[in-house]
Amino acid sequence: MKKRFALILPFIFLSIFPAVSCTNYLVTRGASTDGSTMVSYAADSHIRYGELYWRPAADWPEGSMVTLYDRGTARPLGEIPQLPHTYQVIGFMNEHQVAMGETTFDGRPELQDSTGIVDYGSLMFLALQRAGTAREAIKVIADLVEQFGYASTGESFSIGDPNEVWIMEIIGKGTRLELNKKTKKMINADKGAVWVAVRIPDGYVSAHANHARITQFPLDNGKTSISSKNFKLLNQPDIEVIYSHDVISFARRKGYFTGKDDEFSFSDVYAPLNFGAARFCELRVWAMFNHVNSGMQKYFDYAAGAIEKERMPLYIKPDRKLSVQDLMNFKRDYLQGTELDMSRDIGAGNFGLPYRWRPLTWKYEGEEYFNERVTVTQQTGFSFIAQMRNWLPDHIGGIFWFGVDDAGSTVYMPFYCGIQKVPHCVAEGNGDMLTYSETAAFWVFNRVAHFAYLFYNRVMPDLKKLQQELETRFAGEIPAIDKKALALYKSDPEKGREVLTAYSTETAESTVSRWRKLGEFLLVKYLDGNVKKEKDGELLRNPWGYPLSPSFPGYPDSWKQQVIDQTGDKLKTPAGQ
């Protein structure tokens, strides 16, 4: 199989792989260990700074407008009317425990609307500020793109609340300018977007990673599936599918689809599958599915690029129930234990590094090659696991487990969705991608990670030890914090929120402090490629206070063999010398 997928035409890479690549997991109540729903997201981007967004709840004067900005460039796109009231949002979770994530799949390039002013990032923030449930968020998104036009390429959204999780996939309809006879101005006659939203059945999990995953879906029957013309039925409990009324007819008009309506596949029509979509995107979905279901090996060849094979389902039933800690571990996957394990080929270097610096594809002697695109990656700005619990008041029930930088070397810190402020170490404006800040979690974690990359398999046991200590401690503390906050919340919600704020703040600040000290310890212990002796985290001295001599681990046999193969006898010690 390695030879079969070694080479590929350059245009295939360039045409389907988004510049910004992310990975999302969706877990329903019946698939979690405690009845939570969960949505996870990794913002993988070379220019995305790791900070915790904060939008307090607000009341707005009549006539207020909100300016929309392109999430990828910060370019102003336009203004739309503000609502009288908006909800609090921390990261990508609001005060009602509605949470969202996304991955970009691009899709057909001709369908991007050059006149639209609502991009995918604006849709997320606006939906969270305006929606009290996942279903309401779907309608907010649909209404906004219909009214103001959709400014981005194809997107998959994860949308969850304490009771259910949905995947929604959306793409624009291009630009078809016509003269408006009333206003005498040119307008886009195809303003808006086509989309499909599917509720993940209880007891199941789903994932997406930069390729559209919704294929065929049941058509409007007024009971389990509705089109946007029947939004009045949105809150009927049995609704499982919602879609734009023209998602099929528009594809017919564009010549993308000629089959029967019930044969229509959103992914195949609007984001046709190719090798890169499978190997760079679906493979990350497969990796998560493979952790939770023993029957995934049959989809390995498909995920590795054999797109003629059977596609993976949109969702699967896990063999076991999943915890927040499971999702944290899945975010750290580099295909370990498979034949594509990133730590085991020559690209891993002398110390088993499961990362490859960009670009993703490269050429040698006129042929095109690639590095694997796995879940864990060095260019993550931030990632999270949003945990929603319906047995608690919303302010207490929602926990936004947030980490900055590479998920493999981050610590996921718990932030309750009801906190009253964000701690300085993760606050917006404390540094940015071009401005170093000694007090910013993003830069502290990056410094430690970059040192770990130098001597990966030596350093990571020390890093993992503290990472696991902190994340295990936080998970163990949550029940007591829930109980303490709830006791106060019943009589005075603000007092309860103060408890949550104090805990989240102390946790974040102490984590960054511990991580800074870890970086200092690692530098001293592994200085100059040596390994200083230590016991229980204390570097050892002799009885007179002088440092003990370090060990010199040297290089693995695989490295020695490569040196000998390349240099022959040049470095060989003469016999008897």
Burial (0-12, 13-18, 19+ Cβ within 10 Å), 272: middle
Mean pLDDT of the chain: 95
Going through 83-141 in order, the beta strands assigned E by DSSP cover: 85-86, 89-90, 93-94, 99-106
Q: How far is CA 252 from CA 174, 247, 261, in A?
A: 14, 9, 10
pLDDT for res 21:
74
Q: Are 196 and 187 in contact (CB under 8 A)?
A: no
Is residue 119's pLDDT more than 80? yes
- The torsion angles phi and psi of 174, rounded to 5 degrees, stand at 80, -170
Q: Are 52 and 1 in contact (CB under 8 A)?
A: no
Q: Which of 386, 503, 381, 490 is nearest to 90 (CA)?
A: 386
Spatial separation of the C-alpha atoms in residues 313 and 299, rounded to whole Å: 10
Q: How far is CA 429 from CA 419, 435, 502, in A?
A: 19, 10, 21
pLDDT digits (tens, 9 = 90+) for 521-549: 999 999 999 999 999 999 999 999 999 99
Band the pLDDT of 7: cuts 50, 70, 90: very low
pLDDT for res 464:
98
Q: Which of 320, 327, 322, 324 is nearest to 474 (CA)?
A: 324
Is residue 10's pLDDT more than 60? no
pLDDT for res 8:
38
Tell me the average pLDDT across 230-239: 98
Is residue 470's pLDDT more than 60? yes
Tell me the average pLDDT across 65-79: 97
Is residue 181's pLDDT more than 90? no
Q: Is 3 helix (H, G, I), strand (E, B) or coil?
A: coil
pLDDT for res 17:
52
Tell me the average pLDDT across 28-43: 99
Band the pLDDT of 11: cuts 50, 70, 90: very low
Q: Which has the minimum average pLDDT: 41-55, 240-254, 419-433, 558-572?
A: 558-572
Band the pLDDT of 381: cuts 50, 70, 90: very high
- HSE-up of residue 377 (Cα within 13 Å, Cβ side): 26
pLDDT digits (tens, 9 = 90+) for 338-369: 999 999 999 999 999 999 999 999 999 999 99
Q: Which of 122, 113, 123 is nearest to 192 (CA)?
A: 113
- HSE-up of residue 411 (Cα within 13 Å, Cβ side): 31
pLDDT digits (tens, 9 = 90+) for 318-343: 999 999 999 999 999 999 999 999 99
Instruction: Tell me, letter by letter, the H, E, C secondary structure of 18-41.
Output: CCCCCEEEEECHHHECCCCEEEEE
Point out which residues pair with 391 in neighbouring strands: none
Tell me the average pLDDT across 565-577: 89
Is residue 195's pLDDT more than 80? yes
